[in-house]
Structure 1
Amino acid sequence: MKLYFMTKFVIFIFLSVLQTNSSKRIIDIYAKDKFDKLFIEQTKVFAANTGGMKERDIIVKEHFGASAFKITLTGKDAEVKYTSKSIFPIQKLYSIVDAMPMRKNEAAKRDQYKK
Protein backbone atom coordinates (compact mmCIF):
# COMPACT_ATOMS: atom_id res chain seq x y z
CA MET A 1 0.00 0.00 0.00
CA LYS A 2 2.85 2.38 0.88
CA LEU A 3 4.51 1.71 -2.49
CA TYR A 4 1.24 2.51 -4.29
CA PHE A 5 1.04 5.98 -2.70
CA MET A 6 4.74 6.64 -3.30
CA THR A 7 4.30 5.73 -6.97
CA LYS A 8 1.25 8.00 -7.27
CA PHE A 9 3.19 10.84 -5.62
CA VAL A 10 6.16 10.45 -7.97
CA ILE A 11 3.84 10.42 -11.00
CA PHE A 12 2.07 13.55 -9.70
CA ILE A 13 5.38 15.41 -9.27
CA PHE A 14 6.55 14.30 -12.73
CA LEU A 15 3.33 15.50 -14.38
CA SER A 16 3.49 18.80 -12.49
CA VAL A 17 6.99 19.43 -13.82
CA LEU A 18 5.89 18.57 -17.35
CA GLN A 19 2.98 21.00 -17.16
CA THR A 20 5.04 23.92 -15.86
CA ASN A 21 7.86 23.70 -18.40
CA SER A 22 7.15 24.28 -22.06
CA SER A 23 9.41 24.02 -25.04
CA LYS A 24 7.87 27.25 -26.40
CA ARG A 25 7.26 30.78 -25.25
CA ILE A 26 3.60 31.61 -25.74
CA ILE A 27 1.94 34.81 -26.87
CA ASP A 28 -1.77 34.76 -26.02
CA ILE A 29 -3.88 37.31 -27.86
CA TYR A 30 -7.36 37.94 -26.46
CA ALA A 31 -9.84 39.86 -28.60
CA LYS A 32 -13.57 40.29 -29.12
CA ASP A 33 -13.35 38.64 -32.53
CA LYS A 34 -11.04 38.29 -35.52
CA PHE A 35 -12.17 41.72 -36.79
CA ASP A 36 -10.89 43.56 -33.69
CA LYS A 37 -8.67 46.43 -34.90
CA LEU A 38 -5.89 45.81 -32.36
CA PHE A 39 -5.96 42.07 -33.05
CA ILE A 40 -5.49 42.68 -36.77
CA GLU A 41 -2.63 45.16 -36.18
CA GLN A 42 -0.89 42.80 -33.74
CA THR A 43 -1.11 39.78 -36.03
CA LYS A 44 0.39 41.87 -38.85
CA VAL A 45 3.36 42.75 -36.60
CA PHE A 46 3.95 39.10 -35.79
CA ALA A 47 3.42 37.91 -39.38
CA ALA A 48 6.12 40.33 -40.58
CA ASN A 49 8.62 38.89 -38.08
CA THR A 50 8.19 35.13 -38.20
CA GLY A 51 11.93 34.42 -38.43
CA GLY A 52 12.78 36.17 -35.17
CA MET A 53 9.82 34.61 -33.42
CA LYS A 54 10.76 31.12 -34.59
CA GLU A 55 14.37 31.66 -33.50
CA ARG A 56 13.09 32.57 -30.02
CA ASP A 57 10.64 29.61 -29.84
CA ILE A 58 7.58 31.88 -29.74
CA ILE A 59 4.14 30.64 -30.74
CA VAL A 60 0.94 32.66 -30.91
CA LYS A 61 -2.42 31.51 -29.59
CA GLU A 62 -5.59 33.42 -30.40
CA HIS A 63 -8.58 33.63 -28.05
CA PHE A 64 -11.85 35.22 -29.12
CA GLY A 65 -14.83 36.30 -27.05
CA ALA A 66 -12.88 38.54 -24.68
CA SER A 67 -14.42 41.81 -23.54
CA ALA A 68 -11.33 43.76 -24.66
CA PHE A 69 -7.98 43.30 -26.41
CA LYS A 70 -5.19 41.91 -24.24
CA ILE A 71 -1.89 40.25 -24.95
CA THR A 72 0.34 38.18 -22.67
CA LEU A 73 3.78 36.62 -23.01
CA THR A 74 4.38 33.42 -21.07
CA GLY A 75 7.89 32.07 -20.71
CA LYS A 76 9.03 28.48 -20.96
CA ASP A 77 8.84 28.35 -17.15
CA ALA A 78 5.06 28.97 -17.43
CA GLU A 79 5.30 32.40 -15.79
CA VAL A 80 3.59 35.40 -17.37
CA LYS A 81 6.38 37.80 -18.32
CA TYR A 82 4.39 40.61 -19.93
CA THR A 83 0.78 41.75 -20.20
CA SER A 84 -0.64 44.67 -22.18
CA LYS A 85 -3.90 46.06 -23.47
CA SER A 86 -2.21 47.65 -26.48
CA ILE A 87 -0.02 46.55 -29.39
CA PHE A 88 3.13 44.66 -28.36
CA PRO A 89 5.98 46.12 -30.49
CA ILE A 90 8.26 43.44 -31.89
CA GLN A 91 11.45 45.06 -30.55
CA LYS A 92 9.97 45.15 -27.05
CA LEU A 93 9.03 41.47 -27.37
CA TYR A 94 12.54 40.57 -28.50
CA SER A 95 14.19 42.62 -25.72
CA ILE A 96 12.05 40.92 -23.04
CA VAL A 97 12.69 37.44 -24.43
CA ASP A 98 16.40 38.02 -25.07
CA ALA A 99 16.85 39.13 -21.43
CA MET A 100 15.39 35.87 -20.08
CA PRO A 101 17.96 33.53 -18.48
CA MET A 102 16.70 30.54 -20.50
CA ARG A 103 17.07 32.51 -23.73
CA LYS A 104 20.61 33.56 -22.78
CA ASN A 105 21.47 29.89 -22.21
CA GLU A 106 19.95 28.95 -25.57
CA ALA A 107 21.98 31.65 -27.33
CA ALA A 108 25.19 30.55 -25.57
CA LYS A 109 24.62 26.93 -26.60
CA ARG A 110 23.87 27.99 -30.17
CA ASP A 111 27.08 30.05 -30.28
CA GLN A 112 29.06 27.14 -28.83
CA TYR A 113 27.88 24.84 -31.63
CA LYS A 114 28.87 27.40 -34.26
CA LYS A 115 32.53 27.26 -33.15
Structure 2
Amino acid sequence: MESTANLRTSLKAILEEKKGERRVLVLYGRENGPHQIIEQQEILHPKDIAEGMAERDLDVIVLVGYTLPEPDRWFLTHSEFKLVPSEDFQGWLLGKDGEIKHTFKQVMQPDELFKLIDSMPMRKDEMKKKS
Protein backbone atom coordinates (compact mmCIF):
# COMPACT_ATOMS: atom_id res chain seq x y z
CA MET A 1 0.00 0.00 0.00
CA GLU A 2 1.28 3.40 -0.90
CA SER A 3 1.05 6.73 0.85
CA THR A 4 1.68 10.09 -0.79
CA ALA A 5 2.94 11.53 2.52
CA ASN A 6 6.58 10.69 1.83
CA LEU A 7 6.54 11.15 -1.92
CA ARG A 8 7.43 14.27 -3.84
CA THR A 9 5.12 13.26 -6.68
CA SER A 10 1.58 14.56 -6.62
CA LEU A 11 -1.39 12.22 -6.32
CA LYS A 12 -2.58 13.38 -9.73
CA ALA A 13 0.78 12.43 -11.29
CA ILE A 14 0.79 9.05 -9.52
CA LEU A 15 -2.70 8.25 -10.82
CA GLU A 16 -1.75 9.39 -14.32
CA GLU A 17 1.30 7.08 -14.22
CA LYS A 18 -0.87 4.09 -13.27
CA LYS A 19 -3.48 4.82 -15.93
CA GLY A 20 -3.67 2.11 -18.56
CA GLU A 21 -1.70 -0.35 -16.43
CA ARG A 22 -3.21 -0.62 -12.96
CA ARG A 23 -6.51 -0.34 -11.12
CA VAL A 24 -6.29 1.85 -8.03
CA LEU A 25 -8.13 1.85 -4.74
CA VAL A 26 -7.73 5.29 -3.14
CA LEU A 27 -8.52 5.43 0.57
CA TYR A 28 -8.91 8.68 2.53
CA GLY A 29 -9.28 9.02 6.28
CA ARG A 30 -9.23 11.97 8.64
CA GLU A 31 -6.43 11.92 11.14
CA ASN A 32 -8.81 11.92 14.11
CA GLY A 33 -11.57 9.97 12.42
CA PRO A 34 -12.77 6.50 13.29
CA HIS A 35 -10.85 3.35 12.62
CA GLN A 36 -12.26 2.64 9.13
CA ILE A 37 -9.09 3.48 7.20
CA ILE A 38 -7.07 1.12 9.41
CA GLU A 39 -9.75 -1.56 9.20
CA GLN A 40 -9.86 -1.30 5.39
CA GLN A 41 -6.09 -1.71 5.18
CA GLU A 42 -6.11 -4.69 7.54
CA ILE A 43 -8.86 -6.41 5.55
CA LEU A 44 -6.76 -6.13 2.38
CA HIS A 45 -3.56 -7.35 4.01
CA PRO A 46 -3.87 -11.19 4.28
CA LYS A 47 -1.84 -13.16 1.73
CA ASP A 48 -4.84 -14.64 -0.11
CA ILE A 49 -6.38 -11.17 -0.48
CA ALA A 50 -3.06 -9.71 -1.63
CA GLU A 51 -2.87 -12.44 -4.27
CA GLY A 52 -6.38 -11.53 -5.48
CA MET A 53 -5.34 -7.89 -5.67
CA ALA A 54 -2.21 -8.76 -7.65
CA GLU A 55 -4.27 -10.90 -10.05
CA ARG A 56 -6.53 -7.89 -10.65
CA ASP A 57 -3.63 -5.42 -11.06
CA LEU A 58 -4.90 -3.45 -8.05
CA ASP A 59 -2.83 -0.92 -6.14
CA VAL A 60 -3.93 0.82 -2.95
CA ILE A 61 -3.10 4.42 -2.12
CA VAL A 62 -3.74 5.54 1.45
CA LEU A 63 -4.29 9.23 2.21
CA VAL A 64 -4.50 10.60 5.74
CA GLY A 65 -5.89 14.09 6.21
CA TYR A 66 -3.03 15.75 8.08
CA THR A 67 -0.33 14.31 5.78
CA LEU A 68 -2.13 15.28 2.60
CA PRO A 69 -0.24 18.04 0.77
CA GLU A 70 -2.40 21.03 -0.18
CA PRO A 71 -2.16 20.39 -3.96
CA ASP A 72 -3.45 16.83 -3.43
CA ARG A 73 -6.25 18.07 -1.16
CA TRP A 74 -7.24 20.61 -3.82
CA PHE A 75 -7.15 17.92 -6.52
CA LEU A 76 -9.41 15.61 -4.49
CA THR A 77 -11.93 18.31 -3.60
CA HIS A 78 -12.09 19.99 -7.03
CA SER A 79 -12.17 16.96 -9.30
CA GLU A 80 -14.47 14.00 -9.92
CA PHE A 81 -13.36 12.62 -6.53
CA LYS A 82 -15.50 15.24 -4.80
CA LEU A 83 -13.73 14.68 -1.48
CA VAL A 84 -15.61 16.06 1.51
CA PRO A 85 -12.73 16.74 3.96
CA SER A 86 -15.06 16.49 6.95
CA GLU A 87 -15.90 12.86 6.07
CA ASP A 88 -14.14 10.38 8.34
CA PHE A 89 -13.54 7.86 5.56
CA GLN A 90 -13.94 7.75 1.79
CA GLY A 91 -12.76 5.36 -0.88
CA TRP A 92 -12.67 5.33 -4.66
CA LEU A 93 -12.04 2.47 -7.05
CA LEU A 94 -10.46 3.56 -10.32
CA GLY A 95 -10.38 1.40 -13.41
CA LYS A 96 -7.35 1.03 -15.64
CA ASP A 97 -8.80 3.84 -17.74
CA GLY A 98 -8.30 6.16 -14.76
CA GLU A 99 -12.03 6.73 -14.29
CA ILE A 100 -13.79 6.38 -10.94
CA LYS A 101 -15.85 3.19 -11.06
CA HIS A 102 -17.14 3.14 -7.49
CA THR A 103 -17.19 5.45 -4.47
CA PHE A 104 -17.78 4.26 -0.92
CA LYS A 105 -17.94 5.64 2.62
CA GLN A 106 -17.91 2.36 4.53
CA VAL A 107 -15.29 -0.36 4.68
CA MET A 108 -15.53 -2.58 1.61
CA GLN A 109 -15.05 -6.31 2.01
CA PRO A 110 -12.60 -7.99 -0.40
CA ASP A 111 -15.29 -10.20 -1.96
CA GLU A 112 -17.38 -7.10 -2.76
CA LEU A 113 -14.34 -5.34 -4.19
CA PHE A 114 -13.30 -8.33 -6.31
CA LYS A 115 -16.85 -8.88 -7.56
CA LEU A 116 -17.03 -5.22 -8.61
CA ILE A 117 -13.68 -5.40 -10.41
CA ASP A 118 -14.54 -8.73 -12.05
CA SER A 119 -17.71 -7.16 -13.50
CA MET A 120 -15.71 -4.50 -15.38
CA PRO A 121 -15.44 -5.06 -19.15
CA MET A 122 -11.64 -4.81 -19.23
CA ARG A 123 -11.33 -7.33 -16.39
CA LYS A 124 -13.72 -9.71 -18.16
CA ASP A 125 -11.44 -9.53 -21.21
CA GLU A 126 -8.42 -10.26 -19.02
CA MET A 127 -10.11 -13.31 -17.51
CA LYS A 128 -11.06 -14.62 -20.98
CA LYS A 129 -7.45 -14.28 -22.18
CA LYS A 130 -6.18 -16.23 -19.17
CA SER A 131 -8.61 -19.13 -19.78
Aligned 1:1-115 pairs, distance under 5 A: 21-33=19-31, 36-48=34-46, 49-65=49-65, 66-67=85-86, 68-111=88-131
Aligned counterparts of 2:60 and 2:98: Cα–Cα separation in 1: 15
Pairwise CA RMSD of aligned residues?
Answer: 2.1
Unaligned runs of 5+ in 1: 1-17
Aligned counterparts of 1:83 and 1:52: Cα–Cα separation in 2: 20
Which of these two proteins has the greater Rg computed from alpha carbons? Answer: 1
Q: TM (normalized to structure 2)?
A: 0.65
Shift of 1:93: 0.5
Aligned counterparts of 1:88 and 1:28: Cα–Cα separation in 2: 12
28 and 93 in structure 1: CA distance in 2 versus 1, 3 angstrom threshold = same
Shift of 1:54: 0.5
> 1:78 corresponds to which letter in structure 2?
G
Q: Identity over the aligned pairs, expressed in percent?
A: 33
Number of matched pairs? 94
Decide whether the 8 Å contact of 2:33 with 2:89 is kept in 1.
Answer: no
Unaligned runs of 5+ in 2: 1-15, 66-84
More helix by share: 1
Aligned counterparts of 2:51 and 2:33: Cα–Cα separation in 1: 25
Decide whether the 8 Å contact of 1:20 with 1:77 is kept in 2.
Answer: no
Shift of 1:20: 8.8
